[in-house]
Amino acid sequence: MDQEKQTQLLSVRNLKKYFPLKVSWLKAFSKERSYVRAVDDLSFEIKYGETLGLVGESGSGKTTVGRTLIRLESPTDGHILFEDVDLAKISGESLRVKRQHFQMIFQDPMASLNPYMRVGNAIGHPLKIHHIGNKSERKMHVYEILNKVGLPPEEFYNRFPRHLSGGQRQRVVIARAVITSPKFVVADEVTAMLDVSIRSQILKLLIEMKNELGLTYLFITHDLASAKYICDRIAVMYLGKIVEIAKTYDIFKEPLHPYTKILMASVPVPDPKMKTKKFIPTGEIPSPINIPSGCRFHPRCPYATKTCSKIEPELKDVNGRLVACHLYDQNGKN
């Protein structure tokens, strides 16, 4: 195993997730089926201890990527190498055993907690599922993790979710996600439903948990300020494809892909005197059922040429980062 491979926790190859559309009985016997191509041939890696941000507009396929990586969805095609085990190819007991090593934190903490389950039981539930420890050991572990997430156990162990604030509920969800000491956590829009004042506390908690427990995150968000704060690298998604991957500093300093430039231009600048160059996309985001030919961003791209509507650009190395755009083909601009 080469050194590069040893540093990768997750290696995703040609991952696809298509959802078949329901058809009327008149078309039921037709061989042609329509699909929502939510994730369309993605390849990327996540290193041990890294936080990879996945950003893009709603409907770009970010959540489906997260759900597919931890097998809440079965991939249509491709490979998800998790420490050399292909998660895309396992099922049943093998998958259940592996699940201990990956968890997901969902956007809505209220919806992801059982309203009739007390906080202590909810957090300890994954330990029970994975047969970790006996009853008293599990309770001790829950006490420890409650302390770690800033919820004094004497006060919170027996509470119900309805007796908690939004921020406290998200702390409980984080505690439940990390109690099995997973290696990989998908955090899906974890601060989206929280007040601005609470957001930074939850981001800080995620960083603390990562450092203390050695976690690796896929951080899914449309909030670029949060991504900038927490992520080591950022992957930008558009209509089921990754169009750029780069280190966080580089992507904010100098975005290369036209779509990334548009996203970055939408981040508020604290200094009102500072001039930023605005790139405004034209038209609506196309439907993932009828994906445009060639570069799928071409109907909205201010730089599109004839080549762009015919040939789909591949994700290629451009000065140490990966970009899918014909502007950076070897021959320069089209």
User: Cα 189 vs. chain centroid, distance in angstroms?
Assistant: 8
For the CB of residue 300, give the shortest distance to ligand SF4 in the complex, in Å: 8
Distance CA 29, CA 24 (A): 10
Strand-strand pairing, 102-105 and 51-55: unpaired
Q: Which is nearer to ligand SF4, 56 or 313 (CB)?
A: 313
For the CB of residue 209, give the shortest distance to ligand SF4 in the complex, in Å: 37
Q: Which is nearer to ligand SF4, 240 or 313 (CB)?
A: 313
For the CB of residue 243, give the shortest distance to ligand SF4 in the complex, in Å: 7
User: Cα 26 vs. chain centroid, distance in angstroms?
Assistant: 38
- In 48-132, which ranges are E strands? 51-55, 77-82, 85-86, 102-105
Q: Which is nearer to ligand SF4, 175 or 301 (CB)?
A: 301
For the CB of residue 311, give the shortest distance to ligand SF4 in the complex, in Å: 8
For the CB of residue 43, give the shortest distance to ligand SF4 in the complex, in Å: 18
Distance CA 88, CA 184 (A): 16
Q: Which is nearer to ligand SF4, 22 or 277 (CB)?
A: 277
Q: Which is nearer to ligand SF4, 153 or 313 (CB)?
A: 313
Contacts with ligand SF4 by CB under 6 A lie at: 258, 295, 297-298, 301, 303-304, 308, 313, 325-327
- What order of strands is seen across the sheet that includes strand 316-318? 102-105, 184-188, 216-221, 51-55, 233-238, 241-247, 321-323, 316-318
For the CB of residue 298, give the shortest distance to ligand SF4 in the complex, in Å: 4
**Which token pair is 90?**
């396992």
- Identify the burial level of 198 via C-beta atoms within 10 angstroms of its C-beta, where 0-12 means exposed, 13-18 middle and 19 or more buried: middle
Q: Which is nearer to ligand SF4, 75 or 313 (CB)?
A: 313
Distance CA 41, CA 254 (A): 26
